[in-house]
Amino acid sequence: MNVILEKYHGLGNDYLVFDPNKNELCLNEENIKLICHRNFGIGSDGILMGPVFDGKSIQVRIFNPDGSEAEKSGNGVRIFAKYLKDAGYIQKNHVIFKTLGGEIEAYYLNEEGSRLKISMGTLSFWSDEIPVAGERREVVNEEMTFRDTPYLVTCVSIGNPHCIILMEEISKELVCHIGRFSEAAPYFPNRINTLIMKVMDRTNIAIEIYERGAGYTLASGSSCCAAAGAAFKMGLTDPKCYVHMPGGTLEIEICEDGRVMMTGDVCHVGKVTLGHTFSEKLRNGNPEPK
């Protein structure tokens, strides 16, 4: 039986949806790496495995292209909500499902389900909840050193960890340079997503992103929430702002109760049917090409 996946992207951040109810394959680190490989596989920023049903609740598991599991992904949860509607699992105008990083509530803003508003959870700047090593504290404008260079950083969790560095100018090259060293720095027991951020005005910020387990990405929904939350925490922006990335823009709102709402689009690219030989290679556990 051939393996079938659905490919989507949110602002250029592309994911494959693996529906365990329609496939006979046990995902593991090696075959996730092979599927996501951009030369030897399909190519993807990650895999969304779901829906997984636990009683009445729906769950999704989010995997990075290196095979590690992520707690949450803003683009990923929008994509998964769109898939639930496309596949006929959901007919209502909203859906609630679980991720490793917490519960998600998604609202469909159009009939196609391609524009969504997502309740992403609550931001935490507390070190033990992110986590960041050391005594319990809010990690705001704290100096950290990555490969001999000191930076003022703000760290935050929205179910997954982020390190935000405020800068006057940002670029892909700079975030990749920092991210290679910050991702697994001793400060961060579970590794971390690295963002460099430029504040344009009270309602607009721009970020570049180096994701834990994935590297440089064109867009990240959870990173947008983290950056908007950090900018608001530091008094630099209003509670509602637009976060600009190379892949596009998301609208983020920090609510009075601390919840973060994210609004943006996703696109269904198409169905991918893996060939018989490749499908059997995945089942037989053949390793990723070096």
Residue list for the binding site: 13, 64, 74-75, 160, 193, 211-212, 221-222
Q: Which residues are annotated as a binding site for substrate?
A: 13, 64, 74-75, 160, 193, 211-212, 221-222
Output the six-digit token pair for 230: 């950090």
Contact between residue 62 and residue 73 where contact means Cβ atoms under 8 Å apart: yes
Integer Rg of the chain from CA: 19
- The DSSP code sequence of 243-265 is EEETTEEEEEEE-TTSEEEEEEE
190-217: b (≥16 Cβ within 10 Å) or e: eebbbbbbbbeeeeebbbbbbbbbbbbb
Output the six-digit token pair for 176: 């990749």
Question: Which residues fall within 8 angstroms of residue 211, CB to CB, at 6 or more apart?
Answer: 45, 64, 193, 217, 220, 223
- The DSSP code sequence of 89-131 is S--SSEEEEEETTEEEEEEE-STTS-EEEEEEEE-B-BGGGTT
Question: Which residues fall within 8 angstroms of residue 245, CB to CB, at 6 or more apart?
Answer: 11, 206, 207, 208, 209, 218, 219, 220, 224
